[in-house]
Amino acid sequence: QVQLVESGGGVVQPERSLRLSCAASGFSFSSYGMHWVRQAPGKGLEWVAVISYDGSNRYFGDSVKGRFTISRDNSKNTLYLQMNSLRPEDTAVYYCAAGEWFDSSGYSYWGQGTLVTVSS
Amino acid sequence: SSELTQDPAVSVALGQTVRITCQGDILRKYYASWYQQKPGQAPVLVIYGKNNRPSGIPDRFSGSSSGNTASLTITGAQAEDEADYYCNSRDTNSNRYVFGTGTKVTVL
């Protein structure tokens, strides 16, 4: 069955870095656009970033642009989010999601999320 | 950047119909997708495109769009439909996406 499993979350100090991973299985990973979506405690969903199926195009939300980088390794069926210069407001559960590439097809598959806490 | 606005909360009697709306200028050009999220769980796609349901989503869920408003309708709401619902669409002028503010649906 389809699985997306995030890892790499934890507690990190402000201005430090953290890399999240998302391991995919059960579907053709290299055929899907991949997203990161986050949710601060008690808040709504916020779109973070997207990468095309082949990694050639990447786009970011305003709040993370210039600090976060998204990448993928299709040989390992894995998606990454490199988060630099972290701020307390980056504290959230981070979900990876598969699907949509600007075609209104939606995010078909979601991981269970990994919690990132930015605190001194 | 663009915004998508939803009512914070709606309630519906068991078995009745509820419509959840999502408003924003970007919806004049692009369809919204809809997500159901229950406490402590990841979101689940319930509607995408013009009015498409992924496999496994009950047919009591339907979507529509008119002008700057997208709607998700639950016809014959069940207790298990109690959840937060979010709309999402791509931004008109940039290669980005926007989530709506979310609607908490209570089934009475």
* Contact criterion met (CB < 8 Å) for B97 and A47: yes
Q: How far apart are CA A29 and CA B95, in angstroms?
A: 21
Q: What is the pLDDT of residue B1?
A: 57
Q: What is the pLDDT of residue B94?
A: 86
> Which residue on chain A is closest to B5 by alpha carbon?
A44
- What are the pLDDT digits (tens) for B13-71? 999 999 999 999 999 999 999 999 999 999 999 999 999 999 999 999 999 999 999 99
User: Is A29 in a helix, a strand, or coil?
Assistant: helix
If you average pLDDT over residues A106-119, what whole number do you get?
97
* Contact criterion met (CB < 8 Å) for A113 and B96: no
Q: What is the pLDDT of residue B2?
A: 85
Residues B25, B27, B33, CA angle at the centre, nearest 5°?
140
Q: How far apart are CA B53 and CA B61, in angstroms?
A: 8
Among B33, B43, B94, select the one facing A110 at the smallest CB separation.
B43
Q: How far apart are CA B11 and CA B24, in angstroms?
A: 23
Contacts of residue A120, Cβ cutoff 8 Å, sequence gap at least 6 = A13, A14
Given a cut of 70, is residue A89 above it in pLDDT?
yes
Q: What is the pLDDT of residue A61?
A: 96
Contact of B90 with chain A, judged by CB distance below 8 Å, is answered with yes
Distance in Å, alpha carbon of B93 to nearest chain A alpha carbon: 12
Contact of B54 with chain A, judged by CB distance below 8 Å, is answered with yes
If you average pLDDT over residues A84-95, what whole number do you get?
98
Question: Cα-flanking dihedrals φ and ψ of residue B28, to 5°?
Answer: -70, -20
**SS3 readout for A61-84:** CCCCCCCEEEEEECCCCEEEEEEC
Q: Which residues of A touch B98 (CB under 8 A)?
A: 47
Contacts of residue B93, Cβ cutoff 8 Å, sequence gap at least 6 = B2
Q: Which residues of A touch B95 (CB under 8 A)?
A: 50, 57, 59, 102
* Contact criterion met (CB < 8 Å) for B94 and A105: no
Strands (E), chain A: 3-7, 10-12, 18-25, 33-39, 45-51, 58-60, 68-73, 78-83, 92-99, 107-110, 114-118
If you average pLDDT over residues B1-12, what whole number do you get?
93
**Residues A114, A8 contacting (CB under 8 angstroms):** yes
Among A59, A106, A111, select the one facing B96 at the smallest CB separation.
A59
Confidence of residue A100 (pLDDT cuts 50, 70, 90): confident
If you average pLDDT over residues A31-37, what whole number do you get?
97
Q: How far apart are CA B53 and CA A17, in angstroms?
A: 39
Residue by residue, DSSP assigns B34-98 as: EEEE-TTS--EEEEBTTTB--TT--TTEEEEEETTEEEEEESS--GGG-EEEEEEEE-SSSS-EE
If you average pLDDT over residues A67-84, what whole number do you get?
98
Q: Which residues of B touch A111 (CB under 8 A)?
A: 42
| Length of chain B measured in residues | 108
